Amino acid sequence: MSPVTAPDCLFCRIVAGEVPATMVAENEHAVAFRDLNPQAPVHVLVVPRDHHADVARLAAADPALLAAVVRLAEEVATLEAGGQFRLVFNTGADAGQSVFHTHGHVIGGQRLGWSPA
Marked catalytic residue, from 29, 51, 103, 105: 103
Condensed to tens digits (0 to 9), the pLDDT of residues 27-78 reads 999 999 999 999 999 999 999 999 999 999 999 999 999 999 999 999 999 9
- Contact residues for 19 (Cβ-Cβ < 8 A; gap 6+): 10, 13
Supply the pTM of this predicted model.
0.94
For residue 87, the one-letter residue type is: L
Q: Phi and psi at residue 12, in whole multiples of 5°?
A: -60, -40
Sorted by where each begins, the domain ranges of the chain are: 10-108
Active site residue 103: yes
Q: pLDDT of 75-89, one tens digit each?
A: 999 999 999 999 999
CATH topology of domain 10-108: HIT family, subunit A (3.30.428)
